[in-house]
Amino acid sequence: MRPFDPWGNPWCRCSDKYTFNPYTGCGHKCQYCYITSYIKDAFNPRLKPRIIRQLTMDLRDLGRGGIVALSYSSDPYTPLEQKYGVMRPILKLFREYDWGVLIATKSNLIVRDIDLIRDMNAAVSITITTLDRWLATKLEPGAPPPSERLDAVNKLSQNGINVSVRVDPIVPYLNDDPVMIRNVVEAAISSGAKHIVASIYKAKPDSIRRIISEFEDISIKILNLYRQGFRFYGYGYAPSQYRYNILNSVREIVKNIDSNVGFNVCREGFFNLDDPHAYCDARHLL
Ligand code: SF4
């Protein structure tokens, strides 16, 4: 386990917590993923050796009652989890030590562990970038289709587990259409989501290379847009006006559907768009 490190980014509002990655790398292979910029062979996930023993030792050292995010450099329910099933003993350990657990995934495999999650202090974030199955297959080729993720939102919510849906990232010219975004938000809220997070794709050289190779028809437009933007803490940002307009419209969509549903942006610098007592990591749902 490691202390969460936003690499000094002042636009991250998350307070202290730990992060824990049972796997190195991730099999969801999202074109926009940032882990390929710092993990070798990142789309070939490997279970970390002696992971349960290591976690047990870490928790003995750290004691009771912290907060941990699973996971920010992999998906804890990456397809390999079907084979190894380490999330169940991991969740049991966190429950034993009374930790708050923020689970972030785009897999409906999480439904397998509902019996455990509903019995502990946990909130779940499920990423749904589009309802368009064709687009999702190209954008997130190793992840379950959006319909199965929505089904997971529904099942988790039905079991009393607080769920946040991340419309994240919104990639210019791919899933930034307002009707498309509205459809995702409406489906998420009607499936029980209590919180929506949105952010615009932040470019790394390798991820933008994958995107322009997979989506040749938008390659010139997206490159031009990011050329008009700026670099901030290691990422390429699209221009502020573009980002603000989209994110503000997502906020309006959310609040028009249900003003009780929380809303946050993630590392965008538009703090006026954030609900004051909510956080993009969903810790307010613990
Ligand atoms: S699920 Fe997350 S960690 Fe896995 S490939 Fe996609 S963006 Fe990367």
The residue ranges of the chain whose pLDDT is under 70 are: none
Q: Which of 203, 196, 200, 202 is nearest to 280 (CA)?
A: 196
CA of 71 relative to ligand 1 center, distance in Å: 10
- Do 98 and 139 touch, CB atoms closer than 8 A? no
CA of 234 relative to ligand 1 center, distance in Å: 18
Q: For ligand 1, pick from 106, 148, 170 the residue to mutate: most ligand atoms within 8 Å of CB.
A: 106
Q: Which atom of ligand 1 sits closest to the CA of residue 127?
A: 1
Check residue 13 and give its pLDDT: 86
CA of 57 relative to ligand 1 center, distance in Å: 27
- Residue identifier of the C-alpha nearest atom 7 of ligand 1: 33
Domains of the chain, residue spans = 2-200+240-285
Check residue 6 and give its pLDDT: 84
Helices 178-190 and 240-257, packing angle to 10 deg: 40
- Residue identifier of the C-alpha nearest atom 3 of ligand 1: 74
CA of 76 relative to ligand 1 center, distance in Å: 10
Give, in words, the CATH class of 2-200+240-285: alpha beta
Q: Tell me phi and psi for residue 67, to 5 degrees.
A: -125, 135
pTM above 0.95, yes or no: yes
- Do 273 and 254 touch, CB atoms closer than 8 A? no
Work out whether strand 122-127 and strand 230-232 pair parallel, antiparallel, or are unpaired: unpaired
Q: Render pLDDT for 133-187 as a digit per residue (tens, 0 to 9).
A: 999 999 999 999 999 999 999 999 999 999 999 999 999 999 999 999 999 999 9
Q: For ligand 1, pick from 24, 35, 175 the residue to mutate: most ligand atoms within 8 Å of CB.
A: 35
Most distant CA pair in the chain, distance: 53
Ligand 1-lining residues (CB < 6 angstroms): 26, 28-30, 33, 35, 74-75, 106
Q: For ligand 1, pick from 20, 21, 24, 26 the residue to mutate: most ligand atoms within 8 Å of CB.
A: 26
Work out whether strand 100-105 and strand 67-70 pair parallel, antiparallel, or are unpaired: parallel
Check residue 7 and give its pLDDT: 82
Check residue 87 and give its pLDDT: 98
Q: For ligand 1, pick from 30, 46, 210 the residue to mutate: most ligand atoms within 8 Å of CB.
A: 30
Work out whether strand 195-200 and strand 162-170 pair parallel, antiparallel, or are unpaired: parallel
CA of 256 relative to ligand 1 center, distance in Å: 30
CA of 28 relative to ligand 1 center, distance in Å: 6
Could you list the beta-strand ranges (E) of 99-190. 100-105, 122-127, 162-170
